[in-house]
Amino acid sequence: MIPQAEGAGDKPWRPEDERTERRAPPSGPDWRQPTGWVDSLRLESASETRAYWAGVLLVVAGLFVTKLLPCVDYPQHLALADVARRLVDPGSPDHARYVLNYFTYNGLFHFVVAWLAVHVPIETAGRLIVAASLLAMAGALVALTRAVGRPPIHAALFTPVLFSFSLGWGFVNYVLATAIAAWTLVFVARAAVRPSVLSVGAVGVLGALCAFAHVLAMLILCAFAAALAPELAWRAAGSAGGRLRRAAVAVWHAFLAAAPLLAGCAFCVAVYRVEYPWDPGMYRDPTIEGSAPPIWQKAVWFGAYATDLFGDGTDQVLVWVAVVVMACAGRLAWKARRERAATAGESPPILAPFVVMTGAYLVTPMVLIGTHLIFPRLAQWAVLGAVLATPRFPPRWEGTARAWIGRLGVVVGMNTVVHCGLFAIETSDASATIDDLPPGGAVTAVIWDPWTFAFRNGTLTHLAAYYAARKHGQWAFAFARYLSVPVRFRPGAQPAWPARGWEFDAESYDPRCKYARAFPLVIVKAPEQLPRDESGEDLVRSLVFKQDRDAVRLLSHHGRYWAFDTTGLADDGTL
Has residue 342 got a pLDDT over 80? Answer: no
Q: Where are the alpha helices (DSSP H) in 169-294?
A: 172-193, 197-213, 215-236, 242-258, 262-275
Cα separation values, 439 from 89, 281, 562, Å: 18, 36, 17
441 and 397 within one domain:
no
440 and 360 within one domain:
no
For 366-423, the pLDDT digits (tens) are 988 778 889 999 999 999 999 999 999 988 899 999 999 999 999 999 999 999 999 9
For 77-86, the pLDDT digits (tens) are 999 999 999 9
Q: Which residues neighbour 514 within 8 Å (Cβ) at sequence distance 6 or greater?
A: 495, 496, 498, 571, 573, 575
The Cα 12–Cα 17 span in angstroms is: 10
Asked if 220 and 381 touch (Cβ cutoff 8 Å), the reply is yes
pLDDT at position 23, please?
39
546, 545, 574, 573: which is closest to 563 by C-alpha? Answer: 545
365 and 502 within one domain:
no
Residue 29 counted as domain residue = no
434 and 384 within one domain:
no
Residue 23 counted as domain residue = no
Domain with 114, as residue range(s), is: 43-418
Residue 4 counted as domain residue = no
Residue 74 counted as domain residue = yes
Q: H or E segment at 458?
A: none
The angle at the Cα of 480, spanning 478 to 484, to the nearest 5 degrees, equals 135
pLDDT at position 441, please?
97
Has residue 305 got a pLDDT over 80? Answer: yes
439 and 412 within one domain:
no
Q: H or E segment at 352?
A: helix 352-363
Show which of 418, 437, 470 is a domain's final residue.
Answer: 418
Q: How do beta strands 487-489 and 561-565 pair?
A: unpaired
Residue 22 counted as domain residue = no
Q: Which residues neighbour 542 within 8 Å (Cβ) at sequence distance 6 or greater?
A: 549
Q: What percent of the chain has pLDDT over 90?
A: 78
The Cα 536–Cα 367 span in angstroms is: 41
Q: H or E segment at 466?
A: helix 463-471
The residue ranking higher by pLDDT, 266 or 38, is 266
254 and 381 within one domain:
yes
Q: What is the DSSP string of 41-98?
A: T--SSHHHHHHHHHHHHHHHHGGGS-SS-S-SSHHHHHHHHHHHHHHTSTT-GGGGTE
pLDDT at position 237, please?
84
Q: What percent of the chain has pLDDT over 70?
A: 90
- For CA atoms 314, 48, 403, 231, the dihedral sign is negative
For 489-528, the pLDDT digits (tens) are 999 899 989 989 999 999 999 999 999 999 999 999 999 9
pLDDT at position 12, please?
38
Has residue 177 got a pLDDT over 70? Answer: yes
Hey, what's the torsion of the CAs at 129, 135, 138, 139, to 10 degrees?
-110
pLDDT at position 573, please?
82
449, 171, 457: which is closest to 304 by C-alpha? Answer: 457
445 and 313 within one domain:
no
pLDDT at position 243, please?
83
Has residue 172 got a pLDDT over 60? Answer: yes
Q: What is the DSSP string of 277-325?
A: GG-GGGG--TTTTT----HHHHHHTHHHHHT--BTT-HHHHHHHHHHHH
- Identify the band that residue 63 occupies on the pLDDT scale cut at 50, 70 and 90: very high
Structural domain count of the chain: 2
Assign 435 to helix, strand or coil: helix
452 and 397 within one domain:
no
pLDDT at position 9, please?
36
pLDDT at position 8, please?
35
Mean pLDDT score across all residues of the chain: 90
289 and 437 within one domain:
no
Residue 26: CB atoms within 10 Å? 12
Q: Which residues neighbour 90 within 8 Å (Cβ) at sequence distance 6 or greater?
A: none
Cα separation values, 324 from 169, 302, 303, Å: 26, 12, 12
Q: Compute φ and ψ for 179, nearest 5 degrees.
A: -65, -40
Mean pLDDT, to the nearest integer, of 474-500?
92
129 and 214 within one domain:
yes
Assign 219 to helix, strand or coil: helix
Q: How do beta strands 474-475 and 442-447 pair?
A: parallel
Q: H or E segment at 354?
A: helix 352-363
443 and 492 within one domain:
yes
330 and 246 within one domain:
yes
193, 162, 234: which is closest to 412 by C-alpha? Answer: 162
Assign 564 to helix, strand or coil: strand
Residue 396 counted as domain residue = yes
Asked if 527 and 449 touch (Cβ cutoff 8 Å), the reply is yes
